[in-house]
Amino acid sequence: MPLSGKSTLMVIIGPTAVGKTETALTVAQTLDGEIISADSRQIYRYMDIGTAKPTPEQQVRLPHHLIDIVDPDQSYNVTDFQDDAYTMINRLHAEGRLPFLVGGTGQYVTAVVEGWRFPHVEANMALRQELEAYAEQQGWEALLEWLRAHDPVTAATIDGRNIRRVVRALEVCIESGEPFSNFQRKTPPDYTIKTIGLTLERETLYQRADQRIDIMLAAGFVDEVESLIARGYALTLPAMSALGYLQIGYYLRGMMTLDDAVQELRRATRSFIRRQYTWFRKYNADAIWIESDVHAAERILEVM
């Protein structure tokens, strides 16, 4: 497939610690491209070590986009990312550069590649409280029946016991005047998309993840989390739920030992890797999978 056309989007996915950053950098440099990060934690400023952001040296070698774009207490979701990613992809196409969407946040990647349609409906906290109170008083079945009156398609497929999801679906219906199911349609972008997945044998990948945690700690990860807390960023923020930040935060608050925090981080990282693979299997069936080693970039160039 020719890769010089302005409608091409390269996608490189893979689990955490597999080696996406350096491999993607090598391939993108070879093909006159630039990298758009698809990582839901690298968007945050001041969170560098624990999110394994590309180093300053790597970012000098090649432009990286959608990194360090919001503070940890600012709201940013998959809808925002999709909008920003499309804007950047189109800009790079206009400049004659090849965009590389690179990351392990499956929802971010899939939203762009499949063209998910999202309801642009702001949260109405008063309405949510009203709906939640109704569910508590009348039961989840009654809340689901209310949704059925607005949107029978969603009501037939949603888990009615998941009050939060039912409330959000009803909120969208009421606030937008459209059934929530209308927003479940997909409109794939007008790009030629080539998806490459980087992978490793599972135990080898776990060992690499453990080694990366050791490197992060040696690089000052504890100090980074302490600095975030000192800036006033609470551990309850969504940003601080990133792997490692909450565990180290608990250690700094005296709620667990450093050894326990690190062990919990290792366990959580392995669980996260399993969830990433589950997502990739479901949503990236067309990906070409490449063993992540020193020859990965060469093999990617060969299959492209």
Examine residue 3 and state whether it is found in any structural domain, yes or no: no
Examine residue 259 and state whether it is found in any structural domain, yes or no: yes
Q: Which of 164, 184, 204 is the last residue of a domain?
A: 184
| Whether residue 178 is found in the same domain as residue 53 | no
Q: Which of 142, 166, 184 is the last residue of a domain?
A: 184
For the chain, give the percent of residues with pLDDT over 70: 98
| Whether residue 134 is found in the same domain as residue 195 | no
| Whether residue 96 is found in the same domain as residue 14 | yes
Average pLDDT of the chain to the nearest whole number: 94
| Whether residue 191 is found in the same domain as residue 61 | yes
| Whether residue 148 is found in the same domain as residue 111 | no
pLDDT at 117: 85
Complete DSSP assignment for 235-265: TTSGGGGSTTHHHHHHHHTTSS-HHHHHHHH
Q: For residues 133-156, give the mean pLDDT.
A: 94
Output the CA torsion 23→225→56→90 (10° steps): 70
Q: For residues 125-130, give the mean pLDDT.
A: 92
CATH of the domain at 223: 3.40.50.300
| Whether residue 112 is found in the same domain as residue 131 | no
CATH of the domain at 167: 1.10.20.140
Q: For residues 278-297, give the mean pLDDT.
A: 96
- Which residues are paired to 103 by β-bridges? 13
Q: For residues 276-280, give the mean pLDDT.
A: 96
| Whether residue 28 is found in the same domain as residue 177 | no
pLDDT at 182: 82
Query: What is the model's pTM?
Result: 0.85
CA dist 196 and 246 (Å) reads 31
Examine residue 1 and state whether it is found in any structural domain, yes or no: no
| Whether residue 98 is found in the same domain as residue 220 | yes
Q: For residues 11-24, give the mean pLDDT.
A: 98
Q: Which of 141, 166, 184 is the last residue of a domain?
A: 184
pLDDT at 258: 98
Which residue range is the domain that position 86 belongs to? 8-116+187-303
Write down the residue that tokens 């366990």 correspond to.
267
Write down the residue that tokens 């839901």 correspond to.
40
Instruction: Considering only residues 7 and 224, tell me which one the structure prediction assigns the higher pLDDT.
Output: 224
- Judged against a pLDDT cut of 80, whether residue 183 lies above it is answered with no
Output the CA torsion 39→40→46→51 (10° steps): -50
Give the tens place of pLDDT for each residue, 206-250.
999 999 999 999 999 999 999 999 999 999 999 999 999 999 999
| Whether residue 26 is found in the same domain as residue 153 | no
Binned at pLDDT 50, 70 and 90, residue 1 comes out as very low
| Whether residue 282 is found in the same domain as residue 143 | no
| Whether residue 22 is found in the same domain as residue 111 | yes
For the chain, give the percent of residues with pLDDT over 90: 86
Examine residue 158 and state whether it is found in any structural domain, yes or no: yes
| Whether residue 197 is found in the same domain as residue 278 | yes
Give the tens place of pLDDT for each residue, 69-123.
999 999 998 889 999 999 999 999 999 999 999 999 999 999 999 999 877 777 8
CA torsion through residues 275, 278, 284, 288, sign: positive
Number of domains present in the structure of the chain: 2
pLDDT at 4: 42
